[in-house]
Structure 1
Amino acid sequence: MPADFLSAESERRCRRLLAGATARLRARPAAAAVLVPLCSVRGVPALLYTLRSRRLRGRHRGEVSFPGGKCDPTDQDVVHTALRETREELGLTVPEEQVWGLLRPLHDKRKATVVPVLAGVGQLDPQSLRPNPSEVDEVFVLPLAHLLQAQNQGYTHFCKGGHFEYTMPVFLHGPHRVWGLTAIITEFTLQLLAPDTYQPRLASPKLLKG
């Protein structure tokens, strides 16, 4: 397991691996974008998550997510969407130069394209954030070491008409269960950061096709 996911060497490697897809995806329209905040909490590399407000409308209220949302016509591209939404939801300003690159896009059940934007946000005290209460009920972090432990990883098989369709990853034993598209994005991130350590649970779900 890498000793430091936030090292300059790790960042250079990730930026290099993502460079081609990032240039291609930034030129394409998308329905939504999320920021995947890679941070250090008291020296421990972690991912920052939000718990969406239960006062929101729609199917995803009360769920674990990364900060983000729908692309606005005034946004320059998906990177600016993710950075704007993060600032609006958490009061956290992330400079564009701290963006490492874009991960593989996903498609939700409505076939809308969601683009994950990976960024290193540096040292962070989650308690110092001021989440917008109309959008976020809670902010929490999960150390990468926790996410990489097999006992904290699970999966759910989905069937339709009695036939297996796909497998979705689930991350357990944190403050909240990480599942759905957020778990898939977490899986993409772990595969990028720790390719020799993380064994993916994903089995060609239709949600990713497109």
Structure 2
Amino acid sequence: MAEAGGLLSGGSERRCRERLAGAAGRGAAAAAAVLVPLCSVRGRPALLFTLRSRRLGGPHSGDVSFPGGKRDPADTDAVATALRETREELGLELGAERVWGQLRPLPDRQGQLVAPVVANLGPLENLTLTPNPDEVEEIFTLPLAHLLREENQGYTHFCTAGRYSYTLPVFLNGPHRVWGLTAIVTELTLELLAPDRYRRKTHMLARSPSV
């Protein structure tokens, strides 16, 4: 497979911004937002993930996730929510110019819509991250080249009432397994960045429960 170095280039950014422009306003009704942090590590394009602190308790404790959370009444839109949550969780102040746009909102396990906001952090070596230990247990990255290799892509079939209902993606062979809503957002991001190189794993045959 060719090196994924061009996926965060200026030409790729313009193409992605144009594709995402049609989603403007789609996150307005979302109850929460996450930041999808593109970055580079030693020159290699990557995605940054967090491992949620077990101190949080609840169903998402210890899960792999992107920075994010519920919309605050003071947040003007989904972008504001994602940037605020990133600042609170990672101590990282990002300007709106870093944001490329929004992917389509997705339902979480409770059925509430979550708006994924795509942003480019730039070289990770140039950033100082100060994760909040009450929310973030670990920060790790996965190169886009790793995520695009078929041997690192899996899927899980789900059944409802004894019948096949839907399939969701799983990303393997990294420090932690990426699954659930975070895997679906990762999949949408790979389709955005490399539409000719990623084959979708999500497949619905019937109305599935929220993920």
- TM-score clears 0.5: yes
User: For the residues of structure 2 that align with 1:30 and 1:14, how far apart are their CA atoms?
Assistant: 21
Aligned length in residues: 207
In structure 1, which of residues 17, 30, 37 is the aligned counterpart of residue 19 of structure 2? Answer: 17
- Residues 69 and 81, structure 1, Cα contact 8 Å, conserved in 2: yes
Task: Give the AA of the match of 1:68.
Answer: G
Instruction: Provide TM-score, normalisation by structure 1.
Output: 0.94
Once the two structures are TM-superposed, the CA of residue 20 in structure 1 deviates from its matched residue by 1.2
Q: In structure 2, list runs of 5 or more residues that go unmatched.
A: none
Q: In structure 1, list runs of 5 or more residues that go unmatched.
A: none
User: For the residues of structure 1 that align with 2:34 and 2:126, how far apart are their CA atoms?
Assistant: 18
Counterpart for residue 150 of structure 2: 150
RMSD of aligned Cα (Å): 1.7
The sequence identity of aligned pairs, in percent, is: 63
Counterpart for residue 48 of structure 2: 48
Counterpart for residue 162 of structure 1: 162
- Residues 52 and 61, structure 1, Cα contact 8 Å, conserved in 2: yes
Once the two structures are TM-superposed, the CA of residue 127 in structure 1 deviates from its matched residue by 8.5
Residue 105, structure 1, aligned to residue 105, structure 2: yes
Once the two structures are TM-superposed, the CA of residue 207 in structure 1 deviates from its matched residue by 5.2
User: For the residues of structure 2 that align with 1:39 and 1:3, how far apart are their CA atoms?
Assistant: 11
Once the two structures are TM-superposed, the CA of residue 206 in structure 1 deviates from its matched residue by 2.8
3-state SS of 1:131 partner: coil
Task: Give the AA of the match of 1:138.
Answer: E
**How do 1:117-196 and structure 2 match up within 5 A?**
117-125=117-125, 128-196=128-196
Instruction: Provide TM-score, normalisation by structure 2.
Output: 0.94
Once the two structures are TM-superposed, the CA of residue 9 in structure 1 deviates from its matched residue by 0.4
User: For the residues of structure 2 that align with 1:192 and 1:165, how far apart are their CA atoms?
Assistant: 26
Once the two structures are TM-superposed, the CA of residue 130 in structure 1 deviates from its matched residue by 1.1
- Residues 51 and 138, structure 1, Cα contact 8 Å, conserved in 2: yes
